[in-house]
Amino acid sequence: MIKMSEIFLHDKAQSWTDLGDGVQRKILVYNDELMLMKVRFQKGAIGALHRHPHTQISYVSAGKFRYHIDGTDEILGVGDSCIISPDLIHGCECLEEGELIDSFTPHREDFVRSL
C-alpha cells in the first residue's frame, strides 16, 4: 500500500487495481496537492463520461484514444496530452490497446480510499 509520506516509489512495488471492463489503474505517487497514476485500457474499453472537482492532465504513453471533453472530441495518440479543467464532463474510448499517465490536483481522495 502507498504511504503518502514516501518520497520515492518504484513502479514494480505498486499493484494494479482492476476497474473492470478492460480498465486497470495504478497509483504511482501522491501527496495532498498532486497525484500521478497509470491507467491501462484494452482496445474498446471506455472511460465513462464523468466530472470531478480536480484539474487533470492526461498523457498518452501507449495506444490511441478518442477523448470527449466538454462537448469536443479529439483523437490522441502516443505523445499527445490534454488538460481537463475542474467540473468539465469528460471521458475516453480506447481505439488501440493503450496506457495513460494521469495527474490530478489536488489528489483524488476517492482513489486513495480504494487502495
For residue 29 the three cell numbers come to 505517487
Number of residues that this document lists for the chain: 115
Taking CA atoms, 65 is separated from 9, 22, 27, 40, 94, in Å, by 28, 14, 20, 11, 5
**75-86 pLDDT tens trace:** 999 999 999 999
Q: In a 3-state reduction of DSSP, which class is residue 106?
A: coil
Provide the 3-class DSSP secondary structure of residue 29: strand
- Structural domain boundaries in the chain: 34-113
Predicted local distance difference test score (pLDDT) of residue 96: 99
* 58, burial (CB in 10 Å: exposed 0-12, middle 13-18, buried 19+): buried
Digit-coded pLDDT (tens) for 24-77: 999 999 888 999 999 999 999 999 999 999 999 999 999 999 999 999 999 999
Q: Is pTM, for the whole model, over 0.75?
A: yes
Q: CA-to-CA distance for 86 and 105, rounded, in angstroms?
A: 9
**Is the domain covering 34-113 a CATH 2.60.120.10 domain?**
yes
What's the pLDDT at 2?
A: 53
> What pLDDT score does 8 carry?
82
